[in-house]
Amino acid sequence: MTSKFLRSILAIAVVSMISAFAQTSSATPAAGSPATGSPAAPAASPTIATGTGTKIGTINIEQAVVGTNEGQRDFEALRKKLEPKQNELKGQNDELEALQKQLQTQDGKLNDDARATLVKQIETKKKSFDRSVQDAQEDAQNQQKEIFQRILQKMAPVIVKHAQDGGYAMIVDTSNPWPQSPVLWYGEGGDITKAVVDLYNTQSGVPAPASTTAPKPAAPKPSTTTAPKPAAPKTTPPPK
């Protein structure tokens, strides 16, 4: 699952990084020169670079970053790193559900004081659980964002050089489907995602993961997903 907030931040990063490098490389003969600035660019537009060629190409930036050997390695390492916290949250959730089940099965059999104590215990644990989930999700998103931006920073010149060498006048990002982006339709023939991933893998020197499983979905999702949070218990005592 991907938070809309994280996706919007990454979209701005995509536009800024690649636009900056495209402008720098067009002003400097060396195509591999690093970008020296990040001019502001509208986040709503999927256009990430323009050139002097005649073709229009597409790239799914999210799939490209996650599909690299480096991306698969680093996101898998992050998933394993977050597993202990995920297990801890699952334990908290199981404990909370057990208390709620106890309240449901014993409701009507408990006296007012016992019921109030159990309800208070559930409310306290639920607040703690909700806070822990929020903190874990924010931490996971921040670490995912760092990985994404680090790889994208190195991928930007690869995209621009490939587009310039291929005679492209424009490359647009298709990470988000219409109507989330202005791209209504595009053909696979003009997509450069795989070519960019292959070029990046060659340049990075990072070997392919040992696992042969398919790459993770575009734009990694937080690894702190837990079972749905239980509904808050009723706090009104039964009629006497």
Written as tens digits, the pLDDT of the chain (240 aa) is: 444 445 544 554 555 555 555 555 554 443 333 343 433 333 444 445 556 678 999 999 999 999 999 999 999 999 999 999 999 999 999 999 999 999 999 888 888 899 999 999 999 999 999 999 999 999 999 999 999 999 999 999 999 999 999 999 999 999 988 888 888 888 888 999 999 999 999 999 999 998 645 444 444 443 333 333 444 444 444 444
Is the distance from CB of 159 to CB of 49 less than 8 angstroms? yes
- Taking Cα atoms as reference points, which of 155, 126, 141 lies closest to residue 67? 155
User: 199 near 164, Cβ under 8 Å?
Assistant: no
**In a 3-state reduction of DSSP, which class is residue 232?**
coil
Cβ-proximal residues to 53 (8 Å cutoff; 6+ apart), any chain: 163, 164, 166, 167, 168, 169
CA 217 to each of CA 15, 93, 213: distance values in angstroms, whole numbers, following the listed order: 21, 27, 12
| Confidence (pTM) | 0.68
CA–CA distance from 63 to each of 13, 59, 127, 131, 228 (Å)? 15, 9, 36, 31, 28
